[in-house]
Structure 1
Amino acid sequence: MRVTAMSVAALAMIACTPLPALAHPAHGDADAVRYAWVRGCGVQAKPCGDWILFRRHGSRTRLRDARVKPLSDKGKTLNDDLAPLSVSDDGRRVAYFRKGDGRLVVRELGGGVHVIADEVPARGYGMGDVRTMLSQDGTRLAVDYVGEYDRGGKPKRPTDIYDVATGTKLGSIPWDVTLSGFSPATATRSWPPGRASGPASTS
């Protein structure tokens, strides 16, 4: 498999419950999100309650419209699993699946919400098959599908890159290339035609 190496910002990551989605806000930004957390309940520590955003100044904010338990490709709630959520490295934006309609959205700390225009996850995939990654400033969102092959045995879907402000897709990264992260200069530099914005090298 080819691997794309980028100038990597510290990334928000989700794995098991309970686990924080980490960010590294600037020292002067007291309102920025440091990490997001969800409780694990019972002996098996199944995810429960709301996502909680921990701010740099010490306060906590419940993200009440974010899904905690993902939906399968058939629309069934997976009670043992954790829905994807990611925080931009500057701690100003959070990407998650919305409870009401299941849409993938990016929320700004000021309250604005940007809806991704495409149907995510794609048909035949569940929310648990998706991993999201925000750029350092939260202006770009990567949507990756887990696994090297889809359920039909064909190469998996490419990683799609979206412009958060408009919700539209900028481009895609081939399925056999691994996105390592975004450069801080994502918004001002571009790859070759047909690729999403951001510098990259392949090895």
Structure 2
Amino acid sequence: MSHISTSAALLAAAVIGGAALAPLPAHASPAAPIAAGSPAARAAWIPSCESKSGDTRACGHWRLLMADGRTLTVRDAAPNRTDAKGRPDTDEGRFAISGDGRVIAYERARDHRVVVRKAAGGQVTELPGSLVPKGTGTGDLTLTLSPAGDRLLVSYDDDPARRPTKVVTIATGKVTELPAADESAGFSGDGDEVLARRFPGDNTTALVTHRLGGGSVRRTPPQVVGNATTLALAADGKTVAALIDGDADLKRPPRLRIYDMDSGELHDTVKLALKPSASPYLVRWTADGRLVLTTATDDDARPAVVRVLTADPETGEVRQNDTYTIGKDRHAFYAAGE
């Protein structure tokens, strides 16, 4: 098995900085002690194994690539998700890393309950068992941590019997439900709002921002925004970044549109200073208003090369903050903020 190799500099403080994990509630259970060194993870990955029939599956333990180059093992994370009957699937177990890299969420191996802890180690916080409804398994779940890791969004892919998306406040265990008709697109830059798509049935896509303190704003944007590959909501709760993939055949680089949910204003198209084949698969705002992009190569026969970038939404200028590789024996990986 190959281990992750690192290259370039450590993550810039601007990318990995942020608020610490909220205090753990009384039902937290002990786990590994907090390790020395950086508290932030760049990414998590799990190896792939091949069966006698030639099929591949996630196997072994999840590993964290820390910002200081260490590799930590998350021994209690489930290697595989479960189906509706509770049987292990071949795909990787559910996992997420906060945008600042300091907090991880995952399904626990022994009972497939969703738990949260600091990336560097420490106590494990059990979240409500209702996050994994009986008879569904974890195959229908998607986990998304807020940028500072103080909230967890759990969405369900169980059409046609849709379940409402749930947002858990880690410190208290409080669960807030969002409308089942909405398809979550992630947290805002400060984690106080959730951006979602809504499909009203007239061949259009609407956007909704849900304020977790109460209230929401709905608007039907130009469909170049509504149907964009990737959306991200800024900390102001109104500024939406919409990514349009590049086109190698047309030699067209990835492009960015900025949309204002309050005024309905759509800003001019901005070309990102990236190759047409280097479209980011992850876009997120930081709490202080910077736009962070993550790109990755996708050749299964080679190590994945991941780049973390900061983009200027007005000029399209791109600055590289970090780059690292994940071995070709990976079955899946998740970058910070994913």
Decide: shared fold, TM above 0.5.
yes
Q: Is 1:178 the counterpart of 2:174 in the alignment?
A: no
2:95 to 85, 97, 100: 85
The alpha carbon displacement at 1:48 in A equals: 0.9
- Cα gap change, 1:182 to 1:200, in 2 (>3 Å): farther
Match of 1:119, SS? helix
Match of 2:169 in 1: 163
CA distance in 1, matches of 2:98, 2:69: 18
The alpha carbon displacement at 1:70 in A equals: 1.5
The alpha carbon displacement at 1:71 in A equals: 2.1
CA contact under 8 A between 1:160 and 1:173: conserved in structure 2? yes
- Cα gap change, 1:111 to 1:41, in 2 (>3 Å): same
Match of 1:129 in 2: 140
CA contact under 8 A between 1:137 and 1:184: conserved in structure 2? no
CA distance in 2, matches of 1:124, 1:64: 26
Q: Percent identity?
A: 32
CA distance in 1, matches of 2:151, 2:216: 15
**TM-score, L = length of structure 1:** 0.74
CA contact under 8 A between 1:69 and 1:82: conserved in structure 2? yes
Higher normalized strand content (fraction of residues): 2
How big is each residue's C-alpha offset from its partner over 1:122-175, in whole Å with a ceiling of 9 and x where there is no partner? Answer: 12211111101100000110111114312xxxxx00000100112221x11111
2:48 to 40, 45, 51: 40
Match of 2:104, SS? strand
CA distance in 1, matches of 2:96, 2:167: 15
Segments of 5+ residues of structure 2 without an aligned counterpart are 1-9, 17-37, 195-209, 221-338
What amino acid sits opposite 1:138 in the alignment? G
Match of 2:12 in 1: 27
CA distance in 2, matches of 1:26, 1:114: 27
Segment of structure 1 superposing worse, 177-186 or 90-99: 177-186
The alpha carbon displacement at 1:186 in A equals: 2.7
Q: Is 1:107 the counterpart of 2:107 in the alignment?
A: no
CA contact under 8 A between 2:62 and 2:77: conserved in structure 1? yes
**TM-score, L = length of structure 2:** 0.46
The alpha carbon displacement at 1:180 in A equals: 1.2
Q: Is 1:142 the counterpart of 2:153 in the alignment?
A: yes
How big is each residue's C-alpha offset from its partner over 1:33-57, in whole Å with a ceiling of 9 and x where there is no partner? Answer: 0000011112433111100000011
The alpha carbon displacement at 1:114 in A equals: 1.5
The alpha carbon displacement at 1:101 in A equals: 2.5
- Cα gap change, 1:181 to 1:122, in 2 (>3 Å): same
CA distance in 2, matches of 1:167, 1:148: 27
CA distance in 2, matches of 1:166, 1:115: 11
CA distance in 2, matches of 1:158, 1:197: 17
**Higher Rg:** 2
CA distance in 2, matches of 1:182, 1:36: 20
What amino acid sits opposite 1:38 in the alignment? I
CA distance in 1, matches of 2:140, 2:189: 27
The alpha carbon displacement at 1:84 in A equals: 1.1
Aligned-residue Cα RMSD (Å) equals: 2.6
Segments of 5+ residues of structure 1 without an aligned counterpart are 1-24, 151-155
